[in-house]
A = this chain, B = another copy of it.
Amino acid sequence: MKLEAVDIGKMASASDIVFEALRHAIINGELADGEPLRQDEIAGIFNTSRIPVREALSRLEQQGLVRTERYKGAFVAGISIDEVSEIFSFRSLVESNVIAAAVPKIRPETLAEARIYYTEFSTTKDPMEWGKLNRKFHYMLYRDSDLTFHLSIINNALDRIDRYLRAQLTMTDGVPKANKEHLGILRACEKGDAELAAKLTREHILGARDNLVEFLENHRIKP
């Protein structure tokens, strides 16, 4: 099992460190769906006892990234194609509304930052960076909505599907398509056209859903 501590800025408890490390490993697909997460092993990696590990695991279970069975332990929670599809539908609904709320309030600095992430996303060749940059790009366009609850829910939804999306982007040529769509959304925001930004965001996510579902149906080992 490959695990690395993630820098989370402020002084953090051991359980926070373990939580973030496991979260990143799961959303990045470094831990396969169904893989058991042994308390002893993880505690060994971080030189702690099992107590903070258990706390981290129970938090991850609450987030839907891990499932646990009594006396059997914790496992990376894989999700079905139907669930992946549902989460994308949910995202298209919520994110299109959030961007519509953000556009009238969006600040020039925010747009400038979004453009930086757009460019970085379009130029990087490292699949590991795609998820991060894609998130940062979209987040910038949502940020000025100040809808913190919506944003936290969107983040959780992204956590659950990031790894599948990356697998698809790596094996197909979805990145150029995503890029073109990102540019369209960015321009709509720059023009202040909230309705258009919402429409393009909805289509962007629903298109990604359909591509990903097709990809998973062809490539996934049926359970």
Contacts and interface: CB of A to CB of B under 8 A. Distances in A.
A33 B63 CA distance: 23
Interface in A39-86: 51, 54-55, 58-59, 61-64, 70, 83, 86
Contacts of A58: 15, 55, 58-59
Contact of A83 (B64, B83, B94, B149): B149
A97 B93 CA distance: 8
**Chain A interface residue count: which class?**
20 to 34
Say what secondary structure dominates the interface of chain A: helix
A76 B155 CA distance: 23
Contacts of A147: 86, 90
A50 B90 CA distance: 38
A17 B44 CA distance: 29
Contacts of A152: 64
A90 B93 CA distance: 10
Given A13-B70, A62-B63, A63-B62, A150 B90 contact: yes
A149 B55 contact: no
A82 to B, nearest CB: 8
A203 B76 CA distance: 40
A153 interface: yes
Contact of A94 (B54, B64, B70, B94): B94
Contact of A93 (B11, B83, B87, B94): B94
Interface in A135-151: 147-150
Interface of A: 11, 13, 15, 51, 54-55, 58-59, 61-64, 70, 83, 86-87, 90, 93-94, 97, 147-150, 152-153, 157
15 contacts: A11-B70, A15-B58, A51-B51, A55-B55, A55-B58, A59-B59, A59-B61, A62-B62, A64-B152, A83-B148, A83-B149, A86-B149, A90-B149, A90-B153, A149-B157
